[in-house]
Amino acid sequence: MTVVELEELLEQLAPAALKLGNDPIGRCIGSPQTTINKIGVALDATVAVISQCVEQGINVLVTHHPLIYSPLTRLDQTSGFPESAVVAAVKADITVLSAHTNWDCAFGGINDVLADILELTDCQPIEVTQGSVVRNTGIGRIGKLKSPIEEAAFLQLVESRLNITVRCSEPRKRLVQTIAVCGGAGEGLYSSVRDRADVYLTSDVRHHMFVAAYGENCTLWDAGHRETEIPGTKHLGTLLSQHLDIPVVWINEPSI
């Protein structure tokens, strides 16, 4: 099986038309005609992840985040990420592809997995992808808990399900039921959910957005970038494994 066939499968699972803006999704290292031995799936193509690929005989790596996000004018493996990882991948003949905002938006992608974990029902995208002809989907999900629960109880549920300490204001004494989620950096969608949700769960929230949310009905929670995206990225690996006769392995990102 060749890389171009894998690209076709990814197009079905996470159609490129769903990506946001100029997100450089897809293959950034390697060639379409390469034969695949074994597939690795990870959040980021760090040097440590590339080393894992080499050790495990993996020659194609699918990541959530694109490895070459800003165009490169120099390749010096001693000057840090991502140059170091680009050089490592090229030298090890590892093809690198990413399914990023297209997988965030896709049916069954990052955000649907996150909504499932929190047992949200009747989910809709927060914002429908502009110009998308690929059915009615988009970024983030907004859905309902089976029944209203105390904000503090829901906080506990989130922290336990995602195994994270949420960064937020002190929970208010009130019931919440309509929940918005966006795995990864989603503070830009706050104004879009402000009048529609009781809680908005995302990550990479900067101070000025917390300030904007003070006193609003919709509480803003930062639940961690890795923690909100790893479940959906692992799920992509599971899907690939189900569709292909090639071994697919999850590579945990070494954090040191």
Out of 10, 47, 197, 251, the residue judged to bind a copy of itself by CB under 8 A: 47
Pick 23 or 127: Cβ nearer a copy of itself: 23
- What part of residues 223-252 is at the interface with a copy of itself (CB under 8 A)? 224-226
Strand partners, 46: none
| Nearest alpha-carbon partner for 151 in 164, 126, 169, 163 | 169
Which region, judged by CB under 8 A, interacts with a copy of itself, from 12-20, 101-109, 201-209, 232-240? 201-209
Backbone φ and ψ for 240, nearest 5 degrees, come out as -60, -45
206 sits near a copy of itself (criterion: CB under 8 A): yes
Q: Is 117 helix (H, G, I), strand (E, B) or coil?
A: helix
Cβ–Cβ < 8 Å for 119, 198 = no
Consecutive H or E run containing 175 = strand 175-185
Pick 5 or 119: Cβ nearer a copy of itself: 5
- Alpha-carbon gap, residue 243 to 236, rounded angstroms: 11
94 sits near a copy of itself (criterion: CB under 8 A): no
- Alpha-carbon gap, residue 23 to 135, rounded angstroms: 20
How far out from the chain centre does Cα 136 lie? 19
- What part of residues 115-144 is at the interface with a copy of itself (CB under 8 A)? none
Out of 24, 108, 148, 231, the residue judged to bind a copy of itself by CB under 8 A: 24
Query: Tokens 């992608």 appear where?
Result: 109
- What part of residues 144-173 is at the interface with a copy of itself (CB under 8 A)? 165, 167, 169-170, 172
Out of 10, 36, 61, 65, the residue judged to bind a copy of itself by CB under 8 A: 65
| Nearest alpha-carbon partner for 241 in 43, 6, 4 | 6
Query: Tokens 């110009």 appear where?
Result: 131
254 sits near a copy of itself (criterion: CB under 8 A): yes
Interacting residues with a copy of itself (CB under 8 A): 24, 27-33, 44, 46-48, 65, 68-82, 86-87, 90-91, 165, 167, 169-170, 172, 184-185, 191, 194, 203-204, 206-208, 210-212, 214-216, 224-226, 253-256
